[in-house]
Structure 1
């Protein structure tokens, strides 16, 4: 899995896990992607550093270098919107 894909997947499920603190599956999936980021991509730190109207900024450290990756906010929040729109999951 490419780093950008892993970061985006982590971001999406992180948003879900924060919005649904009782959703154990969301937390387990978030932890899984955090493990991928640490073990496969050797990130020592990653966090949401800024959220504005259109973008979510992820700051991460790889091999001692801090970098920034931005994702479209609407796309990142789409998984949560899909889950909330499905009565099966509410």
Structure 2
């Protein structure tokens, strides 16, 4: 999995995990993707900033600070989908 896809997947499920702290599946999946970022891609010092239109993820890789921007509506789509599915909200 390339870095862009791993970060997108991690951020999407992290938003879910942060909102649903008792959802063990979300917590485990968030940890899984964070492990991919750190172990497979050497990413450290991950931080998230929320702007009006984007999630901006800053991180270190190969001793350089990097950042990626993800549109809020794309990242929040997973959370909204889960919130709108009655079987996940019992």
Which residue of structure 2 lines up, in the alignment, with residue 53 of structure 1?
Answer: 52
Residue of structure 2 equivalent to 1:64: 63
Q: TM-score, normalised by structure 2?
A: 0.96
SS of 1:58's equivalent in the other structure is strand
Task: Work out whether 1:42 is the aligned partner of 2:42.
Answer: yes
Number of residue equivalences: 89
Q: How far apart in 2 are the matches of 1:82 and 1:17?
A: 14
Which piece of structure 1 moves more, 69-78 or 38-47?
38-47
TM-score, structure 1 normalization: 0.96
In structure 2, list runs of 5 or more residues that go unmatched. Answer: none
Unaligned runs of 5+ in 1: none
Over 3 Å off, 4+ runs:
none
